[in-house]
Structures are given as structure tokens and as C-alpha cells.
Chains A and B, each alone.
Chain A
Amino acid sequence: DVKVTQSSRYLVKRTGEKVFLECVQDMDHENMFWYRQDPGLGLRLIYFSYDVKMKEKGDIPEGYSVSREKKERFSLILESASTNQTSMYLCASSLAGPYNEQFFGPGTRLTVL
């Protein structure tokens, strides 16, 4: 059974804190993605990676950075959390190539106070 796991289901942080969201996939997928999901806005791509140590900006990268040191792990970093980063964060992975199914993790609901 394919699996994408995220380190936390719920997270509460304070403004200005550095926040790490971890994602691990066990499918040997090349591509990994970070999205945020907000009511009325749908899923918006923050960053993606098509290989180890490679990263590409998505539609809303401002305020975020990512790290991919191993193929199975993709981390999202909020350098200095702000209240407008309160959201549901979803990680996904897929095989190489543009048209392959993305498999999603269960999401991390982050609240920044």
C-alpha cells in the first residue's frame, strides 16, 4: 500500500518561530510537492522537487523554503512563521514525469498565533 506520511497532524506555533514540516514517502517516487490548502482557494503549490537536492518554486514560495537531502524525505521550512501562514499543508509525491498521479499525505493543520 502506497504511503505518504507527514510528521504532525496538528501544530500550533507562535509568530516568528521557525517551523519544520516533514514528509516521507515509501514509494521511491522522484517527484515531491508541498501545497497549502485554504477555503475558497483550493490547493496552491509552494515548492516541488524532482530529484534529491533539487527544488523548484511553485506559485506561492514567499516565506517558505524546502530541503530534500534524501529521496524519500521532503521538508518544508517556515523561517519566521506569520499568522497568514495558518493553513492546511499537504505533501504529495509522484513518479517522474508531468502526468503521473500525485499521492497525498493526510495533511498538517498549522496554526500560527
Chain B
Amino acid sequence: QKEVEQDPGPLSVPEGAIVSLNCTYSNSAFQYFMWYRQYSRKGPELLMYTYSSGNKEDGRFTAQVDKSSKYISLFIRDSQPSDSATYLCAMSGEIQGAQKLVFGQGTRLTINP
């Protein structure tokens, strides 16, 4: 079983739709949860960062963490064509005495005008 599972998609939605991207994980040691966005032919860039359970909002983006279910989500409201990218979840924590950062497989998202 992979430590972090993310549906690779692809996901295609019309402009203006609400998008929900999700990841599940198996290791309860993860405490920091991140979403990276990767445009075509570019490296990933940090989009949002949350610690422990709860919600965090930044403009049209909301990151949600449910540690009891080992489930994290990224919601995009009023989606725009410029949001078309691959979204990678990532999580980190101390595992077996060492800090570890693990990425999900990435979900390719296309917003159609």
C-alpha cells in the first residue's frame, strides 16, 4: 500500500465549476500537509500549506485536512482556465526517527473555457 494515494485523473471540468481534489494517506505520523501546483513543462510550486486538522482558505482555494480519516482535500471555487495544471498533494512528518516528505501521484486538471 502506498503511503499517499491520489487519483491521477485526468479531471476535466467547465470554467466556473467547483473542483475537489483529494488524497488519502496511511501513516498517522504525517503532520504537515501541502498542495503543490505544476504547470506543463515547469517544476511544482507550493500552493497551500496546513498543519494538522482543519481548513485553510486562500482566495479561491481551500485546503482541508481530516486527520481522523487520513484524508486531505483541495477545493477550487470559480475555476479558471489558468488553474489547468497537475496538482500534487504532499505530506511530511517524523517517521522512524527521520523527517520524511511524501508526494502523491498528482492529479491532472483541465478547466475548459
Q: Is the CB of A43 within 8 A of B46?
A: no
Instruction: Check A34 for interface membership: any CB of B closer than 8 A.
Output: no
Q: Are A101 and B43 in contact (CB under 8 A)?
A: no
Q: Are B105 and A101 in contact (CB under 8 A)?
A: no
Band of interface residues on A: 10 to 19
* Chain B interface size, under 10 / 10 to 19 / 20 to 34 / 35 or more: 20 to 34
Say yes or no for A106: interface residue by CB 8 A criterion. Answer: yes
Q: Mark A1-14, 1 if CB is under 8 A from B, else 0.
A: 00010000100000
Cβ–Cβ < 8 Å partners of B60 in chain A:
none
**In terms of DSSP, what is the predominant structure of the interface of chain B?**
strand
Of listed B6, B49, B106, residue having the most chain A CB within 10 A: B106
Instruction: Answer whether A98 and B92 are a contact pair too, CB < 8 Å, given A42-B103, A42-B104.
Output: yes
Chain B nearest CB, measured from A50 CB (Å) = 10
Complex partner residue of B105 from A41, A92, A102, A105, CB under 8 angstroms: A41
Find out whether the CB atom of B41 lies under 8 angstroms from the CB atom of A106: yes
Closest 8 CB pairs of A and B: A104-B43, A98-B99, A42-B105, A43-B103, A101-B46, A42-B103, A104-B44, A99-B32
- Jot down 8 A-B pairs with beta carbons below 8 A, ordered by A: A9-B41, A42-B106, A43-B44, A43-B103, A43-B106, A92-B43, A98-B99, A104-B43
